[in-house]
Structure 1
Amino acid sequence: MRQLIAKRLLQTIPMLFFVSIVCFGMIKLAPGDPVLSFVTPNMHPEDIERMRASLGLDKPAYVQYFLWIKECLSGNLGYSLINHQPVLDQILERLPATAGLMGISIALAVLLAIPLGLIAGANRNRFVDKLINLVSYIGISIPLFWLAILLMYFFAIKLHWLPSMGMRTIGTDSAWDVVKHGILPCIVLAFGFLAVYVRYIRSSTIGQLKEDYVQIQYAFGSNKSTILFRHVLKHVLLPVITLLGMSMGDLVAGAIVTETVFSWPGIGTLGMTAVKGMDYPVIMGITLFSSVMLILGNLAADILYGIADPRIQIKR
């Protein structure tokens, strides 16, 4: 297992290098000029060029890239072009909000998907299975931003049960206030993943119920609930762990959309602000940081897979 972890960590180096090249190239090919946001109508061309040079944007693209890589290797992701604050400090400041939103959402999706998927698979083509499938299809089909607006309209504007935006109420400093602000974003982010996980677990459950060990358990007098949650569940968890690792990219993208709609003060909101202001260093820093999260998420999935099935460790 240690060799696997070391090997995967070494593989992250060329992957991050490739991601940084692609992201930097796309940023440079995008239309617009960040210097224009600082230009006033009466500013002379010489002053504009001086400002461009002070931001390091007067050099060729490949020189800017290598200078950025050099700073990254020293632990510095650069400074924002908008607020002139260190990029790494801004990301770390907003990381707890994003990590909390993502962690709670994925945990909620998994905890609900396991029993729902098992029940749907055990009652194939019955009413409860059709009902769960209907909810799953709705979750897969609905865009996150539309669901977020819909929930915000009903629960925040119409019913006034929950706050609609932000992470805290001004003048209120309590944990319950943060929880209330996080309910709607967590539901929106978890719903899409819940629908996908339920479909996978249902399919895996149907396959496992055809195995010989299930019939043997019935012969020993075990009831359906015992077989499902004590025996079938062990085999169903393996594809779920793999699915969790594959879902990290969608989780990061979903968090960006959800944070933007609900004005949640996380990395996603910071990234959208950077894109609107063409803040290149912040965009590059968030992209690199998100790539690291994705790679570590897949590594964690591999480790959990090996723990859940010891035979994986032997093969590797």
Structure 2
Amino acid sequence: MRQLIARRLLQAIPLLFVVSVVCFGLVKLAPGDPVLSFVTPNMHAEDIERIRHNLGLDQPAYVQYYHWLMECLSGNLGYSLVNHQPVFDQIVDRIPATAGLMGISIALAILIAIPLGLIAGSNRNRFIDKAINLFAYIGISVPTFWLGILAIYLFAIKLHWLPSMGMRTIGQNSAWDIIKHGILPCAVLTFGFLASYLRYIRSGTISQLKEDYVQIQYAFGSKKSTVLFRHVMKHILLPVITLLGLSIGDLVTGALVTETVFSWPGIGSLGMTAVRGMDYPVILGITIFSALLLVFGNLLADILYGVADPRIKLGEVSS
């Protein structure tokens, strides 16, 4: 186990380096000048150049990258050009809101997708399979922002059942108030994840039902539900684990559009604000943090492979 973790971490170093180079290069190539965030109408050209020098923007790009990378390795992601607050502190403050929203959405999607995918795969080309497939196709095709706007219009504006935006009502700090605010964005995200998971699980179920062990179980008199939920489900957990590992990165950036639509105070809305304000340190900080989570998700998926199927050795998973 320790060798696996150490090997994966060593493999992640060049990956993170490439990600940092690409992201920094894209930010430098982006239109706009971050110095403009500090410029006032009465400011002289000498003052503008002094600001540029203080920010290190008058140096070559590779020198700027080197200084930025050294600061990142020391745990300093820089300061926001908009609100002048530490980028690291802003990300940490927003993590609970995004992680709670995304974590619940992913968990609900998996819990619903497993039985529905098993049922659809075991009833291939029948009415229930076509109905579940139609549901999955709609979920894949419908844009998240449109579904979010529709949910706000129906449940918040027309029916007045749920709040339309934010995470809390001003003056209220109860858990139920947070839950009410989270129902709509959580439902929208769950719908999107569920559609993707359903397709994978249905495909895996159809493939597993052709295996010899399934026919042997039927020959021994096992019921269809027993074969599906006791034997087939164990084998389809592997692709689900892969999706779960890849979804760890989504805990940060996956709700970018949804958080913006519902004004949810998470990292997604922070990223959108940074993009609109050309707040490059915040954009870079969120990107690097997302890359770290993706690497962690892949490592977690490798470990869970061995837990889900003891026949798979952890050393073989990582090769």
TM-score, with structure 2 as normaliser: 0.95
2:59 is the alignment partner of 1:59: yes
Q: Which residue identity lines up with residue 223 of structure 1 in the other structure?
A: K
1:194-240 Cα distance to aligned partner (Å, 9 max, x none)? 11111111111112222222222222222111111111111111121
Structure 2: how far apart are the matches of 1:3 and 1:148?
Answer: 44
Structure 1: how far apart are the matches of 2:128 and 2:183?
Answer: 27
1:102 and 1:239, CA in 2 relative to 1: closer, same or farther beyond 3 A? same
- Counterpart for residue 226 of structure 1: 226
Q: Which residue identity lines up with residue 203 of structure 1 in the other structure?
A: S
Contact conserved, 2:99 with 2:251, CA < 8 A, in 1? no
Report SS of the residue matched to 1:78: coil
Identity among equivalent positions (%) equals 79
TM-score, with structure 1 as normaliser: 0.96
Number of aligned residues: 316
2:38 is the alignment partner of 1:28: no
Contact conserved, 2:4 with 2:314, CA < 8 A, in 1? no
Contact conserved, 2:98 with 2:251, CA < 8 A, in 1? no
2:99 is the alignment partner of 1:111: no
1:104-136 Cα distance to aligned partner (Å, 9 max, x none)? 111011000000000111111111111100000
- Counterpart for residue 9 of structure 1: 9
Structure 2: how far apart are the matches of 1:117 and 1:238?
Answer: 14
Computed over aligned residues only, the root mean square deviation of the Cα atoms, in angstroms, reads: 1.5
- Extract unaligned runs of 5+ from structure 2: none
Following TM superposition, by how much is the alpha carbon of 1:251 offset from its aligned partner in structure 2, in angstroms? 5.9
Q: Which residue identity lines up with residue 34 of structure 2 in the other structure?
A: P
Structure 1: how far apart are the matches of 2:251 and 2:197?
Answer: 13
- Counterpart for residue 78 of structure 2: 78
Structure 2: how far apart are the matches of 1:116 and 1:207?
Answer: 16
- Counterpart for residue 127 of structure 1: 127
Deviates more, 1:41-50 or 1:165-174: 41-50
- Counterpart for residue 144 of structure 1: 144
Contact conserved, 1:35 with 1:48, CA < 8 A, in 2? yes
Q: Which residue identity lines up with residue 307 of structure 1 in the other structure?
A: V
Structure 1: how far apart are the matches of 2:259 and 2:43?
Answer: 37
Contact conserved, 2:208 with 2:235, CA < 8 A, in 1? yes
Report SS of the residue matched to 1:161: coil
Contact conserved, 2:103 with 2:251, CA < 8 A, in 1? no
Deviates more, 1:236-245 or 1:172-181: 236-245
Following TM superposition, by how much is the alpha carbon of 1:6 offset from its aligned partner in structure 2, in angstroms? 1.0
Structure 2: how far apart are the matches of 1:18 and 1:126?
Answer: 48
1:239-274 Cα distance to aligned partner (Å, 9 max, x none)? 211222234456654311111111111111111111
Structure 1: how far apart are the matches of 2:314 and 2:257?
Answer: 41
Structure 2: how far apart are the matches of 1:314 and 1:203?
Answer: 25
Structure 1: how far apart are the matches of 2:312 and 2:38?
Answer: 56
Contact conserved, 2:98 with 2:267, CA < 8 A, in 1? yes
